[in-house]
Homo-oligomer: A and B are copies of this chain.
Amino acid sequence: MPVRVQTEDFDISAEILALRAGRSDVGAVASFIGVMRDFNEGSGVTELTLEHYPGMTEKSLQQIVDEAHGRWRLQDALVVHRVGCMRPADQIVLVVALSAHREEALAACAFIMDFLKTRAPFWKKERTPEGERWVESRASDDAAAGRWLPGDPR
């Protein structure tokens, strides 16, 4: 499955190995891991809870992966996103893109992360010394996703 939502942690080596199995035409493996930091928006963060919208999450991630396949020549691509309760330094999300060439694998990896950040229905709630709070979306994430759209001036 090219997209998975799970509470368990993941291992990047095992995921890449499974993705590459039986393929000898892969020249480039680009990957990204999003990790929980212990600090955000001026506060220490001791715990993170990730909520999602089952059904829509998988569908939106699949659409993002499909769109990446349409833009670049990828042999395969994978998204694993965790939900539930996490602690600092925990892995949150993994994206892997396989291609014959590095430019396409790296671009696809950046693209998938940018769209995931603005389109996939996940929400983060942080526990800080001041109490719990929902993470606010960032304008910079909208800007990052916008650069892939036609007509973007950059």
Contact = CB atoms under 8 A, between A and B. Distances in A.
A135 interface: no
Contact of A25 (B28, B30, B39): B39
Contact of A34 (B20, B27, B32, B34): B27
Interface stretch (A11-19, A60-68, A120-128): A11-19
Q: Is the interface of A mostly helix, strand, loop or mixed?
A: mixed
Contacts of A102: 32, 34, 110, 113
A35 B30 contact: no
A14 B34 CA distance: 17
Contacts of A11: 13
Nearest to A44: B24
B32 A37 contact: no
Interface string A119-145: 000000000000000000000000010
A24 B26 CA distance: 33
A37 B31 contact: no
Contact of A35 (B13, B29, B35, B38): B29
A105 interface: yes
